[in-house]
Amino acid sequence: MLTDLFSPTVQHSLDLAGIFVFAISGALLGVRKNFDVFGMAVLAEVTALGGGLFRDLIIGAVPPAAFTDLGYFLTPLLATVIVFFLHPEVERITKAVNVFDAAGLGLFCVAGTVKAYDHGLGLTFAATLGLATAVGGGVLRDVLAHEVPSLLRWDRDLYAVPAMVGSTMAALLIRYGELNAQTSMVPALTAFALRLMAMRYHWRAPRAWHRRSAATEGPDGT
């Protein structure tokens, strides 16, 4: 199977690393929203596991991995504890957290595409679920926190596009029979690099042409 690209230990370690950095971002949003520790934990769990949970339910991989591996469940709680006690310090290294978040984005978009394909989806839909795996948790996090999801806002640096590129590249490698442990890092690193460049240069998706006003708008369009 294509999911056997890495040894189980390496794959598990990569999954936990991605889950941890996603959970940090969820817990930090809980702090900014003045949530209590339970609310922080919920946002951490949802951010870290939401995309993979959605993918597994769609492809019928039940029970989802989030409910069969205790490490998947406990890692976001560890991130919550760290943020609960050390959030000022964590906020000060936000740039470093964002770098690791970008790495998680790259890993998850490829892993999601491969797993979806292994469960019988066509390449287009496998790539779509790869994208959902990478960004789905962030969307759920923002919805629960009463925020417009970041990937829908024009005033945020590109996030979904790098994951989309990575998922598409992974699907093309599968299509031509070239996906292995080494080549799988190409789409992951591409998504990672694109996300870093978007943060560095503030790349954003274009808005509709011929808009009536060039004035800055808020998230609600006002």
Q: For 94-125, how does the pLDDT look when each residue is reduced to its tens digit (9 = 90+)?
A: 888 899 899 999 999 999 999 999 999 999 99
pLDDT, tens digit, 9 for 90 and up, residues 147-196: 999 888 888 999 999 999 999 999 999 999 999 989 999 999 999 999 99
Query: How long a stretch of residues is the chain?
Result: 222
Phi and psi, residue 60, nearest 5°: 80, 20
CA 85-90-96 angle, to 5 degrees, is 155
Nearest to 70, CA basis, from 15, 110, 107, 113 = 15
User: How many other C-beta atoms are found inside a 10 Å radius of the C-beta of residue 164?
Assistant: 20
pLDDT of 3 over the 80 cut: no
Sequence-distant (≥ 6) Cβ neighbours of residue 34 within 8 angstroms: none
pLDDT of 219 over the 70 cut: no
User: How many other C-beta atoms are found inside a 10 Å radius of the C-beta of residue 74?
Assistant: 12
Place of tokens 């996300």: 195
Nearest to 100, CA basis, from 199, 181, 203 = 199
Gap between the Cα atoms of 149 and 145, Å rounded: 10
pTM for the model: 0.89
Confidence of residue 222 (pLDDT cuts 50, 70, 90): very low
Q: Is 156 left (phi over 0), alpha (psi -120 to 50) or beta?
A: beta
